[in-house]
A and B are shown apart, each in its own frame.
Chain A
Amino acid sequence: MFRKMMYKMMVFMSKRMIACDEASFLISYRSEKKLGFKSWMQLNFHLLSCHLCRKYASQIDELNSAVDQYREVCSSETCHHHLPEDCKAEVNTIIVQELNAK
């Protein structure tokens, strides 16, 4: 019974095997969305046999948290970019002119 089920499952899966391109797409997709049952099965089946995509998955997790961190750091003044002085002077001149014209 169990063997028969396993066999059926293998046949089922082998017809729906995905390659690394689709697997890596699903790895990205699951960062934002929940995978459907079929995609979830396909991805995890692929990951069982593919060490590159397993690495890819953990690296994408790292990338995502690096981007999160980057957003935190740069969401305020803490990023320390300064508007160039000449740019400031130029726009200040225009503002003063405009205000005085009124």
Chain B
Amino acid sequence: MADEVKHIIEPQFWVERYGDYLYNYAIVRVNDAEKAGDLVQDTFLAGLKARAKFQGRSSERTWLISILKRKIIDTYRKNSSSRESSMSEYQEDISDGDFYRDDDPFKGHWLEGKGPNSHSLMPEGELEQDELRQIIEKCISLLPPKLASVFIMKLIDEAESDEVCKELEITPSNLWVILHRARLKMRDCVESKWV
């Protein structure tokens, strides 16, 4: 009666079945082809080692994705704790010399050319999806690693703020400042792609 579907594990087919899927998942989140490839390999190997623990309650794919997710978060943590770019650098300070003036009495005003230039960020009319994807991908890849981690985790992965803060060991006010900075840079980058 209660014939629950029991998923079986077949590592010999993993690469063929899930290789591209996991790779897509990873590349969107780490924005680096080589790193994404490594993560997928690591995921398969970790899954292989832990295959005795696979209980068949979820599908293989879901199980592998959960391993990959963990590994992606680990790379975010590495990004955010690397010494040259520690999160504390982004304390509560929203001023950014690359974008705003620092001279009185214009402190905090847009630097010339660093504010928005064109009226619209995107060209008029229907935008090719592929074009959009390439631009967003390119601009994310140009963000400093730490900004990219927060930006992706919060806006692409849609993680809750609490979770982002916990995983990356930042305070909520850090989070909003980092997101603001990431948007500053993203806007600048996307706009410059169309001019």
Q: Footprint of B on A, CB under 8 Å?
A: 18-22, 24-25, 28-29, 31-33, 52-53, 55-56, 58-60, 62-64, 66-67, 69-71, 73-77, 79-84, 87-88, 90-92, 94-96, 98-99
Contacts and interface: CB of A to CB of B under 8 A. Distances in A.
A96 B45 CA distance: 11
Interface string B85-120: 000000000111001100000011110000110011
Contacts of A82: 20, 23
Contacts of A31: 183
Contacts of B99: 21
B15 A81 contact: no
Contacts of B120: 58-59, 62
Interface in B12-30: 12, 14-16, 19-24, 27-28
A47 to B, nearest CB: 13
B8 interface: no
8 contacts: A20-B100, A24-B184, A52-B110, A63-B121, A76-B24, A87-B37, A94-B44, A95-B12
A57 to B, nearest CB: 9
Interface string B126-142: 00010011001100000
A60 to B, nearest CB: 6
Contacts of B137: 70
Q: Is the interface of B mostly helix, strand, loop or mixed?
A: helix
A66 B158 CA distance: 15
Contact of B24 (A19, A25, A79, A88): A79
B148 to A, nearest CB: 13
A12 to B, nearest CB: 20
B27 to A, nearest CB: 5
Q: Is the interface of A mostly helix, strand, loop or mixed?
A: helix
Contacts of B191: 59
B24 A70 contact: no
A49 to B, nearest CB: 12
A63 B15 contact: no
Contacts of A66: 121-122, 132, 136, 190
A52 B94 contact: no
B183 A28 contact: yes
A67 B156 contact: yes
A70 B161 contact: no
B156 A25 contact: no
A71 to B, nearest CB: 5
Contact of A83 (B37, B45, B121, B184): B37
B44 A95 contact: yes
Nearest to A59: B121
Contacts of B24: 74, 76-77, 79-81
Contact of B11 (A53, A56, A69, A95): A95
